[in-house]
């Protein structure tokens, strides 16, 4: 049975193709629920019109389901609250 930390480890491997930072560090994952061998994710994008959004959702689902400990993974995209980079992330990205 996977733990939340197992799920986070997998998510940290998924890189935003525009910002070249993993989606966990970007703060795009809002919630992780592990129920036995099933995982539910709530995530957002850097913008509502993120061109990489569908690709990222598909990658989250496929990478999680590729784990031998996970049977199903569902991904719900939410925009409330809107994504805002943290001060640490802004410093990492050289903005702000």
Q: Is residue 15 part of a domain?
A: yes
Determine the 3-state secondary structure of 50 from DSSP.
coil
30-55 pLDDT, tens digit each:
999 999 999 999 999 999 999 999 99
Which residues, at least 6 apart from 95, have a Cβ–Cβ distance to it below 8 Å? 85
Domain count, the chain: 1
Q: Is residue 41 part of a domain?
A: yes
The gap from C-alpha 11 to its chain's centroid, in whole angstroms, comes to 6
Enter the tokens of residue 81. 């609250």
Q: Is residue 27 part of a domain?
A: yes
Q: Residue 60: give the domain boundaries.
A: 4-83
Determine the 3-state secondary structure of 68 from DSSP.
coil
| Confidence tier at 3 by pLDDT (50, 70, 90) | very high
Q: Is residue 92 part of a domain?
A: no
DSSP 69: T
> Does residue 96 surpass a pLDDT of 90?
no
Q: Is residue 58 part of a domain?
A: yes
- Residue 16 sits in a domain whose CATH number is 3.30.300.130
Q: Is residue 57 part of a domain?
A: yes
Q: Is residue 73 part of a domain?
A: yes
Q: Is residue 94 part of a domain?
A: no
Distance CA 34, CA 28 (A): 18
């Amino acid at each position: 049975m996977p733990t939340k930390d197992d799920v986070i480890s997998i998510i940290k491997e998924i890189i935003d193709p525009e910002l070249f930072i993993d989606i966990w560090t970007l703060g795009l994952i809002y919630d992780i629920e592990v129920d036995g061998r099933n995982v539910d994710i709530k995530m957002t994008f850097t913008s509502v019109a993120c061109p990489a959004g569908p690709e990222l959702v598909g990658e989250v689902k496929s990478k999680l389901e590729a784990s031998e400990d996970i049977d199903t993974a569902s991904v719900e995209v939410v925009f409330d609250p809107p994504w805002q980079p943290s001060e640490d992330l802004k410093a990492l990205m050289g903005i702000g």
